[in-house]
Structure 1
Amino acid sequence: MIAGMMVAVMLTTGRSVGAEQQVLGSIDDAGTRTIQIRAENGAGLSADVLDRIGGIDGIEWAAAFSSAIDATNTQIPDGTRVPVRLAYGTHLERLGIPKSSPVPGGLAYASPTALTQFGLPDVAGSITLTTGASYGMAGTLTTPDFLAAFEPVTLIPQPDATGGETVNVLLVIADRPDLVAPVSDAVLSVLAADDPTKITVQTSEALAQLRAIVQTQLGTFARGLVLVILATTGILVAIILYGLVMMRRKDFGRRRALGATRALIITLLLTQTALLALTGVILGVTASTLTLVLAGDPHPGWAFTTATSILALTTALAAALIPALTAAGRQPIHELRVP
C-alpha cells in the first residue's frame, strides 16, 4: 500500500513538481532578478555609484560599464570592429575575470563570439581601441544571461578606478525575484545622476510576477493532490490494519495474559508498521525513479522525495495508531475464554 502510494505521488505530483522546477528554471534563466539602468551621455552617472548601492540589502551582484568603444585586432587594423566596454566592480570573477591581474587595467577579456570577430580564437594577441589605446587579450568571458544582449562582449576591468569615471550601464542582480521592485527603487534613490531625465530603467518585474503566479498555481495543485493521496492511503492502511488486529485478537489476548503491557503491544504494532512502511517507501521510490528516468520525465529532486517519504512513514504510523490502541485494549479473560 505504501509502495503504491509513493509511486502514485512520484508519478503525479512528483512529475508536476519536476515540471514546475523546469519552468521556473527557464523563467529564472531569462533574468527575473535583473535590473538594468542605462545612462545616456551627459547623464552624469559615475562609477562610485557601486559604493553607494553597496549598503542596499537584497543585492546579490552589481557591476557598472562604460559606453561601447570600437576596437580591432591590433594586427588587423582594418578588421572587424567589435564593441569594448570598461568594467567596474569588485565581483567580476562571476564573468570569468580573475580577481587579481598581473597588469591592472591593461588586459581585456572577451566572449567566444567576440574572440571570433577579433580573429583571436586562441586568446593570443592584443586589441586596439579607436582611441589608440591597446590591451592584451587575457582570457575568455563567461557570458551570463543578463549580458546576452551585449554580445559580442569584450570587457576591460578597471580595478584601480577612482570612482569618478563615467559609466553608461549599471547592472544589478537582486537576491530574489520578489525583491526586484524594492531594490530597483532603492538603487534609483542613490544614483546621484546629474540629469535623471537621461536615466532609463529596465527590470524583470513582470517576469518575477509571472514566476510567482506559476509557482503558486502549480504548488497549490501539487499540495492538494498529495493531501488527497495521503488521506486515501491512510484510511486504507487503517482499515487493513484494523482487520488484521481483529483476526489476531486472541494472539494479543494471550500476550496480555503472559504479562505484556499495553505499551508493549502498541510498540510492537507500530514498529512492525514502520518497518513495512519503510520497505514500501524504498520500493516505491526506486520504482518511480526508474519510471521517470526511462520515460524521460523530470525528477522532482531528492528534497521532494525525502519529504514525501517522511510523510508516507508518518501517515502509516498515524493510521496504525488506532488499530494498535484497539489491540492493546483487548481483555485477556474475554479473548481466552472457551465458549
Structure 2
Amino acid sequence: MRALGRDAVLTARAQPVATATAAVVVALVTLVTLLTTGRAAATEAAVVASIDAVGTRLVVATDTTGEAGIDPATVRSVAALGSVSWAFGLGPAVDVENVGAGRAGPVPLRAFVGDLPADVALTVGRLPTSPGEVVVGRAASSALRMPDVAGAVSDGTRGLAVVGQIHGSGPLSFIDQGALRPAGADEDVPLRYVYVLAGSATGAQEVADALRALLVAEVPAAVDVSVSDGALELRDVVAGRLGAASRQTMAGVLGVGLVLVTVTMLGAVAGRRRDFGRRRALGATRSAVVALVLVQSACAGLVGAVLGGIGGLVALRIDGVAWPSASFVGGVLVLAVLVTLVGSVPPAVAAARADPVRILRVP
C-alpha cells in the first residue's frame, strides 16, 4: 500500500499539467465557496450574535400585584447557576428629588440586590458601596438638574449622596430614567423585579424554568416569569433562512466543481491509457489502478483545497469581511477534497475496466 501511494505521488509529479489543472479546479471551487458561502456564514453568525444579545437571553420575574414579596435570596440562588451570566433584583420605587436645586425631579429610586451587569455602564464617578449612596441614570441626572453628577437627593425622610452616573443599554435602558442604591446587608427588601441573563438564547427557557423553581416569594402565584419568545422565534427564522441560502449556494458550487473535476480527470486518464494498459498487462489488479487514480487525485485535491482556502481567507480579509469559523473553513476544505475523490471515481473505474490488450495493440 505504501508503494502504491509512493507510485501515485510520483505519477502526479510526472504529469504536472493534469495534476496542476485538477489542483486549480479544486482551488477555484474552494475559493468561490469561501467567498460566497463563507461570507454568508460569517454574516449569519454576526446577525445571530446581534439577536443573541441581551434581548433574547433576558428572563424577567415581575411582581404583578406589588404584594408577591419576592425574597432577595432568589437572586443569589439564580446567580449561582452555571447557565446564568448575571442576575440582579430591583425593589419598589420611591420618588427622590434634588433639594439643592429647588426640589428638581422627582425620579424613581430603587434598591438593587446583586451586582449590576456590564450592560449598565458606569459613565461618571463610581458605584455606590452603601445604602446611603446612589447612582443616577443619564436621563435622571438631567431631570434632577445635576450636570456634574454631584450632590444629594432626598426621599423626604433622608438624604442620599449621588456618587456616579450610569447608562443602561438594550432592554435595561429604562435604568436611565431612575436612580439605584444598594440594599443593606440587614435590609429586607421585597423585590419587584428579578432580571436574569441566560448564557445563550437557546437556554433562556431552561433558565426561566429554573427561576420558577428557585423563586422564593410570599405569593408565588403573583409572580410572572417571562422570556422574549418573539425574539427567539426571530432568531430561529433568520438563522434558518440564511443557513438554507448558504447551503444551496454551497451545493451549487460543489456540484459545478464535481463536474469540472470529473472532466479534468477523464482527460488525465485518457492521456495515460497506455500506462494503465501496461500495468494491467503486467498483473496490476483493477483495484490497484482505481487506487492509483484516486490517490493521484487526492494529492491534487489537497494542494488545491489548501491554496484555495488560503486565497479565500486573504480575499475576505482584504474585503473587510469577518472570517467564518474555523470549523466552517475546515469543513469546506474537507468537502473540496471529497468532491475531488468522488469526481475521480468514474475516470478511475473506466481506467480499471479498460481492456489492456486492446490498449496495447499495435496497428
- TM-score (ref. length: structure 2): 0.71
The answer on whether the counterparts of 1:3 and 1:282 sit within 8 Å (CA) in structure 2 is no
Aligned to 1:180: 204
Distance 2:121 2:316 in 1: 40
Does 2:84 match 1:66?
A: no
Residue identity opposite 2:158 in structure 1: G
The amino acid of 2:41's aligned partner reads: V
**CA separation of 1:330/1:169 partners in 2, compared to 1, >3 Å: closer, same or farther?**
same
Matches within 5 A, 1:167-206: 167-196=191-220, 198-206=222-230
Q: Distance in 1 between matches of 2:200 and 2:102?
A: 45
Work out whether 1:238 is the aligned partner of 2:266: no
The 1:269/1:197 distance shift into structure 2, 3 A limit, reads closer
Task: Give the whole-Å Cα distance in 1 for the aligned partners of 2:242 and 2:118.
Answer: 36
Asked whether 1:277 is paired with 2:305, we answer yes
Query: Does residue 137 of structure 1 match 2:160?
Result: no
* Conservation of the 8 A alpha-carbon contact between 1:64 and 1:168: yes
Runs of at least 5 residues in structure 2 that lack an aligned partner in the other structure: 1-24
2:324 to 298, 301, 310: 301
TM-superposed CA distance for 1:31, in Å, is: 0.7
Encode CA deviations 1:155-209: one digit per residue, 9 max, x unaligned.
Answer: 2234x53473221111112233333334323323433322345434442123213
Unaligned runs of 5+ in 1: none
Contact 2:128 / 2:181 at 8 angstroms: preserved in 1? no
Amino acid at match of 2:92: S
Could you say if the C-alpha distance between residues 21 and 122 of structure 1 is closer, same or farther in structure 2, counting changes exceeding 3 Å? Answer: farther
Residue equivalent to 2:15: none
Query: Which amino acid counterpart does residue 220 of structure 1 have in structure 2?
Result: A
- Aligned amino acid, residue 170 of structure 2: D
Identify the structure with the greater helix proportion. Answer: 2
CA-to-partner distance for each residue in 1:80-134, whole Å, 9 max, x for gaps?
A: 333232211146466346xx978444443344443444444454x2331314231
- CA shift, 1:15, in A, is 4.6
Q: Mapping of 1:1-339 within 5 angstroms?
A: 1-29=25-53, 31-39=55-63, 40-54=65-79, 58-73=83-98, 75-90=100-115, 92=117, 95-96=120-121, 103-123=129-149, 125-130=150-155, 131-138=157-164, 140-158=165-183, 160-162=184-186, 164-196=188-220, 198-250=222-274, 267-287=295-315, 290=318, 293=320, 299=322, 301-303=324-326, 304-320=328-344, 323=347, 339=363
Kept in 2, the 8 Å contact 1:33–1:180? The answer is yes
Amino acid at match of 1:134: L
Q: Structure 1 counterpart of 2:91, which letter? A: S
Change (3 A) 1:122 1:324: farther
Query: Residue 237 of structure 1: CA displacement?
Result: 0.8
Residue identity matched to 2:37: T
Distance 2:132 2:361 in 1: 98
Q: Aligned to 2:256, what secondary structure does the other structure show?
A: helix
TM superposition shift of 1:135:
2.1
Mapped partners of 1:3, 1:122: distance in 2: 61
* 326-335 vs 24-33, greater mean Cα deviation: 326-335
Preserved contact between residue 270 and residue 324 of structure 1 (Cα < 8 Å): no
**Aligned partner of residue 219 in structure 1, secondary structure:** helix
Query: Residue 46 of structure 1 aligns to a residue in which SS?
Result: coil
Percentage of identical aligned residues: 27
Q: Secondary structure at the match of 1:222?
A: helix
Relative to structure 1, the CA distance from residue 161 to residue 20 in structure 2 (aligned partners, 3 Å threshold; closer, same or farther) is same
Structure 1 residues 275 and 111: CA distance shift in structure 2, 3 A: same
Distance change in 2, residues 1:147/1:277 (3 Å): closer
Q: Secondary structure at the match of 1:137?
A: strand
